Amino acid sequence: MREDAAGKSTAKQTDAERYDALIIGAGFTGLYQLYSLRDRLGLNAQVLEAADGVGGTWYWNRYPGARCDSESHSYCYYFSKELVTEWEWSERYPGQEEIRHYLNHVADRFDLRKDIRLGDRVISARFDDAETLWHVTTEAGRQYEAQFLITGVGCLSSANVPDIPGLDDFKGDWYHTGSWPHEGVDFTGKRVGQIGTGSTGIQSAPVIAEAAKHLTVFQRTANYSIPARNGPLSEDFKRYTKEHSDEIHETMLAGPNGHPFRIEDRPVASVTPDEQREIYEAAWEKGGLRFRSVFKDLLTSKPANDTAAAFIKTKIRAVVKDPETAALLSTIDHPFATKRPPVDSHYFETFNRDNVSLVDIKTNPITRITPTGIETTAGHHDLDIIVFATGFDAISGPLLAMDIRGKNGVTLKEQWAEGPKTYLGLQVAGFPNLFTVTGPGSPSVLTNMPVAIEQHVDWITDCIDTLLKNGKSRIETTPEAAEEWVGETTAAANATLLPQANSSWYLGANVPGKPRVFMPYAGGMAHYRKRCNDVAADGYKGFVLS
């Protein structure tokens, strides 16, 4: 809380707790934003977190097989050299428990817990124009006030449970992968139905199949997936990542997606078909998202993309023994990597098990859930457990789940009725001093998230510091800047093949009634960072400081 020249508090006496800044969420964003505002600027900042522990996405997502698809030595903070050096990852792709352990370590190492309020879910936030204050209310009835409000609610935190008739009548148990019971689920001897074959479904199915009596996977849209080739990290590699952390970080910052590898500077057409196959084979054996980096035009040229798509489909058909099942899994209706490209641990091999079957619900849709299972147009499937691996109301959903009201009481839902509009993914016109970390219009989910988060937090921290040092109390983007940025975001997407995936959650297509707008910025993280820096250097062009 700031004081006047006489040293007296300038805040009105209310029942609300008063802070300089409130931060919603205690995941990667909330922890670093708290550290930056409190330890770097000396502000009185408070984190409000709905969960009973820190970790954000990795607190909630405990479903079977939950694992990161960014390599562990890059899926971490780089703001502290000491933190990079002292922490040791065990696997190439870290699992949920290890990531949560890491974030708890960060909270303890930087003494962040004393400024985090756990079990305090924000339900509303209202901006008072006269006071330049955000008034925040939580589910427990607590009241807070702050000059600055920063959302770190994550892009994939609002579970999307499809509205299928009869769910309330189901006599068995059902779960969504995004809100998994912390005590786990015992599938032993159970008939399990899994709806969804996106990233979470692809991770879950192999683990569920190992325990279940029978697993039925209900597939609407077939998906590409690259083998993760996950495994323990060697001592030599661990030593290398510590000794070369600066070089690795520079590579992450220079690339379009924030990963610790470079995209090859060659188009597909520059090599012969035989050389293409050799390159793809080597990348397939290496595994992971590096597969996308072997040619520079996989996401900008349909003919180039077709070569990668054909290669992966051939691999699927070679792995899956039943021809009919292999055909269903490899009949994919979108270009490669235009939806989130999963990496897997034996997903396609799972369909060779005797206790696993695949149901095509594009041809035979689900009509209802019955007391004993799932009914499709082709017949009934008896089940004891249903797992919804149906993803999230992504990117904008977590923000709209709260009742956020800006100037004149206008709600964020009203402001975004035709789709989210932000400037740089950082601010919404009419909502002063509200910052949305990795919000719609930023690279967010198209990147290795910690890289995007650190960039946003650093920019927001510098912005607030500049405001306060110059005697300003608020910053707000203009409607014109937001409209222009929406146009730039759309143009960046249209310069790629990404919009060709009609059912992608990048477009909000997985949520009925959600406006079809391509939400993340596809122009690349490095270009986006330069744009943000240029805006700040130009006196925060596109924003009004007052």
C-alpha closest to that of 281 among 304, 314, 303: 314
Q: Which residues, listed in sequence order, are joined to residue 358 by a DSSP beta bridge?
A: 217
Exposed/middle/buried for residue 189 (C-beta within 10 Å: 0-12, 13-18, 19+): exposed
Residue pLDDT, tens place only, 378-400:
999 999 999 999 865 555 668 88
Q: Which two three-digit tokens encode residue 434? A: 């509200």
Give the max Cα distance, the chain. Answer: 81
Residue pLDDT, tens place only, 311-327:
999 999 999 999 999 99
The whole-angstrom separation of Cα 194 and Cα 61 is 16
Instruction: Give, in order, the Cα–Cα distances in Å from 258 to each of 250, 309, 378, 520, 525.
Output: 10, 23, 45, 14, 7
Between residues 439 and 253, which one has the greater pLDDT? 253
pLDDT of residue 543 exceeding 60, the answer is: yes
- What pLDDT score was predicted for residue 2? 38
Average pLDDT, the chain: 92
Residue pLDDT, tens place only, 445-495:
899 999 999 999 999 999 999 999 999 999 999 999 999 999 999 999 999
pLDDT of residue 13 exceeding 50, the answer is: no
C-alpha closest to that of 325 among 358, 361, 362: 358
Residue pLDDT, tens place only, 177-235:
988 999 999 999 999 999 999 899 999 999 999 999 999 999 999 999 999 999 999 99
Q: Which two three-digit tokens encode residue 414? A: 């009203």
C-alpha closest to that of 397 among 227, 178, 225: 178
Distance of alpha carbon 50 from the chain centroid: 18
Q: How many CA atoms lie within 13 A of 7 on its CB side?
A: 0
The angle formed by the CA atoms of residues 336, 441 and 151, to the nearest 5 degrees, is: 115
pLDDT of residue 61 exceeding 50, the answer is: yes
Going by pLDDT thresholds of 50, 70 and 90, the confidence category of residue 31 is very high
CATH 3.50.50.60 domain range(s) in the chain: 17-54+112-158+394-545
DSSP class of residue 493 equals: H
Contact 506, 520 (CB under 8 A): yes
The whole-angstrom separation of Cα 41 and Cα 35 is 9
CATH class of 17-54+112-158+394-545: alpha beta
Q: Which two three-digit tokens encode residue 175? A: 């779960």
- What pLDDT score was predicted for residue 11? 41
- What pLDDT score was predicted for residue 314? 98
Going by pLDDT thresholds of 50, 70 and 90, the confidence category of residue 419 is confident
- What pLDDT score was predicted for residue 196? 92
Q: Which two three-digit tokens encode residue 329? A: 């899994």
pLDDT of residue 509 exceeding 50, the answer is: no
Going along 474-527, which residue ranges are E strands?
475-477
**pTM (two decimals):** 0.93
pLDDT of residue 9 exceeding 60, the answer is: no
Residue pLDDT, tens place only, 349-378:
999 999 999 999 999 999 999 999 999 999
Distance of alpha carbon 244 from the chain centroid: 27
